[in-house]
Chain A
Amino acid sequence: MEIIRSDVAIIGAGGAGLRAAIALAEADPSLKISLISKVYPMRSHTCAAEGGAAGVIKPDDSLEHHFNDTVGGGDWLCDQDAVDYLVREAPKELLQLEHWGCPWSREPDGSVAVRPFGGMQKQRTWFAADKSGFHILHTLFQTSLKFPSIERYDEYYATDLIVDDGRCQGFTAIEIRSGQMRRFEARAVIIAGGGAGRMFPFTTNGAIKTGDGMALAYRAGVALKDMEFVQYHPTGLPNTGTLLTEACRGEGGILLNRNGRRFLQDYGMGPETPVGKPQLKTMELGPRDRVSQAFWHEQKKGNMLPTKYGDCMLLDLRHLGEKKIDERLPLVRDMSISYLGVDPVKDPVPVRPVVHYMMGGIDTDIEAATSLPGLYAAGECACVSINGANRLGSNSLTELLVFGRRAALSAIEFINSGKPSVNEVALSAQAAAAQARIRGLFEKADGGESLAGLRREMMRTMEENAGIYREEEGLKAACATLSQLRWRYLDVGLTDRTNVYNTDLMQALELGSMLDCAEAVTVSALARTESRGAHQRLDFVERDDGKFLRHSLAYFRSHEPPRVDYRDVVITKSQPGVRDYSGDHK
């Protein structure tokens, strides 16, 4: 098997992976960096983020405000030392992107413009129209081309971490073009593999968001933290799940029920604010968990608009006018017209909540280090715990920059701390075992299980039982189903047994990742008998700080459901309080 040796190898070339690679190359040009991804960097899902990235820049704002919004928005499940680091580093990172050419939208005087976002008490979201993630990704990718020490391996799929002598020393990956296995040997590994939204049927996430990075670390013994917290974005197109950014509401869009009422005022986010004059941190600028939950209640009351794609609320942008919509929300207009046939300039757009983001992920400390020496993680696949129980919109693009860089710096510190000997025989043996596992998929007789069938069953059980509101009975059923699906997965054989660009194989491996992640979600959700942020239990409606001001940690077990443990939240200055999004709060 071909061996590719580097100082640091990065899995995933989206925002976090690219930011890490650049930080490594800048810090020490002599470092050999391998950047691998199952897709070309420009295809990474960072490109689909629309609204923007939060960072304090305007004189009326402060780091304190950004900290408080984030911690309260996360229902006090954020680690406050991590949030401190995030808000402090955020402006520097966003300015750095500006220096690399990111086309941020501007004020008339040439300074960077910011827009309001949900749950934020000040305007601090930097944006590039409504393609902010796209521009961040492309700016990073294009900037990365300056650095000769970044060696890219596009369309390589990582299958197994290699762990020896108590540290991560690389991984095996399939070169998709040839189907051949390669062994990447590295003194430190950074996982930046993105989220896992595709375990649900209705999601804003692209096809590639299958939790592969999370599963890699999880199977190697690193905990998945706070996996029960799955974010529903309130405004997706009802048929395709295409995201209509929160910036729609930041710019002044309103949400209506079928009777034309701005129903958020009935769910603790009132009183009503004047149309077209959005007020920060209330009504349509409430946090995503609260808005999605309000939708659910209105739906139960029969106040939502029935459509052939299910019940919808209406996102009304008409009062913004064509000029502003075209300038600030061009993608939203294009998507609504193309996929739904509704022009937001002329008509309100039917929308419904859609799975968007995993707050949970690979357990890391605030230096982006996992419990496994030599292994780091950043971006959506990681859980540093800046998002807590509910992420505020525009914190994730910031997070992948801040912690992508942080992971790189930590990896450098680690490799500079000494050069332990490498047991090549042991590493080769592990790589051979990984290869045998993959070959096994090719050689296995058809066990009668269909890949697409198992995937559908997984998605169905997640949607039915692990959605916006959950309860014991459903979660127990979901855990049982996923446990069975993991067994049945062992009987999945490939239809395509050839080597070149075999997406049947890729999808089989991706399903394995998703099943492991999905089980971590439902088992953690069943164990958390309280309601907090995006995890709402109909049978335990209150937040329970006495028992659950703690992170859940799911540990992988190959033939059983994960073991769940807990760790206290880090609180430095903000004691748990009431999340107040009423316009009267001050």
Chain B
Amino acid sequence: MSERVIELEVLRYNPETETEPHFQRYLVTCEEEWVVLDALNHVKETIDPTLNYRWSCHMAVCGSCGMMINGEPKLACKSFLRNYQGVIRVEPLAHFPIERDLVTVIDDFMTKFKRVKPYLIPKDEKPVCEGEYRQTPAELKKFKQYTLCINCMLCYAACPEYGLTPKFIGPAAISMAHRYNLDSRDGGRKERQQEIASGEGVWECSFAGACSEVCPEHVDPASALQQVKIASTVDWYTEHLMPWVKK
């Protein structure tokens, strides 16, 4: 296995003992095939036990290890060292308050996520003993990609609007609302629209598309936001120009 020494420049911040964040450099002997998370683990284990960050699955599915790597929002477990030259700068996800070191405070996301009612509101309630709701592969395909969101919040760190207007509900939460709206079993769209079609919802989005570019699961939140915009425009016209049509 070929080794390589890399230089990590990691943002450190301890609110108990420091007033300002600062960068700390670590020289790490790495295997060529490592990801940034492996290098951080190596630092934690052999150089500096006081370094803090979140991680668990090491397979890009738990969503814990989102961080800025050379200024881009990335999952540390899927950022291969082979793709980086020179010093690698690691910072906490942008647009979130820092709790400590690379750990961010994600309360804002958790609150917004809950607000959009990200759960099935059945169109036709039926008891479990009557079996499954039928859903064809084509119906499943309509919303499947939006179910793949791992809540890693890279899209919030990439979104220029969220940076400017923190009240914006944001890509992941709106995509999840859209996922349920598109589900053939669901009848809750109207309830969700109150949140996501509001000023704090899709109309904050300037369609920069950065969310879809950084999404590690190819959820494509930008497409969800545009579809919600179109749907709520149709709603508006239906309501104002064709008031006799029942929604």
Give B96 Cβ to nearest chain A Cβ, in Å: 13
Contact B180 A335 (CB under 8 A): no
Give A93 Cβ to nearest chain B Cβ, in Å: 9
**Which of B49, B62, B120 is the one whose CB lies under 8 Å from A495?**
B49
**What residues of A have a CB within 8 angstroms of the CB of B54 in the complex?**
39, 43
Answer whether A495 and B14 are a contact pair too, CB < 8 Å, given A48-B59, A101-B183, A111-B134. no
Q: Which residues of chain B from 76 to 127 have a CB within 8 Å of any chain A CB? A: 78, 80, 99-101, 103, 105-106, 110, 113-114, 117-120, 122, 126
Contact A99 B128 (CB under 8 A): yes
Residue of chain B at shortest CB distance from A107: B137
Contact B139 A92 (CB under 8 A): no
**What residues of B have a CB within 8 angstroms of the CB of A30 in the complex?**
none
Contact A48 B62 (CB under 8 A): yes
Binding-face segment, B143-151, B201-209, B222-230, B234-242: B143-151
**Which of A96, A334, A501 is the one whose CB lies under 8 Å from B99?**
A501
Q: Which residues of chain B from 1 to 60 have a CB within 8 Å of any chain A CB? A: 1, 14-17, 33, 44-46, 49-50, 52-60
**Which of B49, B80, B143 is the one whose CB lies under 8 Å from A451?**
B49
**What residues of B have a CB within 8 angstroms of the CB of A177 in the complex?**
99, 105
The complex places the Cα of A134 from the Cα of B150 at a distance, in Å, of 9
Residue of chain A at shortest CB distance from B37: A207
Contact B103 A131 (CB under 8 A): no
Contact A501 B100 (CB under 8 A): yes
Q: Which residues of chain B from 143 to 180 have a CB within 8 Å of any chain A CB? A: 143-144, 147-148, 150-151, 176, 180
Say whether A183 faces chain B, with CB atoms less than 8 Å apart.
no
**What residues of A have a CB within 8 angstroms of the CB of B183 in the complex?**
101
**Which of B17, B49, B128, B150 is the one whose CB lies under 8 Å from A95?**
B128
Residue of chain A at shortest CB distance from B33: A239
Answer whether A110 and B33 are a contact pair too, CB < 8 Å, given A146-B119, A242-B59. no
The complex places the Cα of A95 from the Cα of B231 at a distance, in Å, of 31
Say whether A503 faces chain B, with CB atoms less than 8 Å apart.
yes
Answer whether A145 and B50 are a contact pair too, CB < 8 Å, given A43-B56, A110-B136, A500-B16. no
Answer whether A498 and B133 are a contact pair too, CB < 8 Å, given A99-B120, A177-B99, A335-B59. no
Contact A43 B63 (CB under 8 A): yes
Contact A502 B137 (CB under 8 A): no
The complex places the Cα of A206 from the Cα of B59 at a distance, in Å, of 9
**What residues of B have a CB within 8 angstroms of the CB of A106 in the complex?**
135-137, 140
**What residues of A have a CB within 8 angstroms of the CB of B147 in the complex?**
103, 135, 138
Residue of chain B at shortest CB distance from A207: B56
Give B94 Cβ to nearest chain A Cβ, in Å: 19
A→B interface (CB under 8 Å): 39-40, 42-45, 47-48, 92, 95-96, 98-101, 103-112, 131, 134-135, 138, 142-143, 145-146, 154, 177, 206-208, 239-240, 242-243, 308, 331, 334-335, 338-339, 341, 451-452, 495-496, 498-504, 507
Closest 6 CB pairs of A and B: A110-B134, A101-B120, A206-B56, A501-B100, A496-B50, A495-B49
A–B complex contacts, Cβ < 8 Å, 26 sampled:
A42-B151, A43-B63, A43-B64, A92-B128, A100-B120, A101-B120, A103-B144, A105-B140, A106-B136, A108-B137, A110-B136, A112-B132, A135-B147, A142-B176, A145-B113, A154-B110, A206-B57, A207-B55, A331-B61, A335-B59, A339-B33, A495-B49, A496-B50, A500-B16, A501-B52, A503-B53
Please give 18 more A-B residue pairs, beta carbons under 8 A apart, in addition to A43-B62, A96-B128, A331-B61.
A39-B54, A40-B151, A43-B54, A43-B64, A45-B56, A47-B150, A48-B59, A99-B126, A99-B133, A101-B183, A112-B132, A142-B176, A177-B99, A207-B58, A338-B60, A338-B80, A496-B50, A500-B99
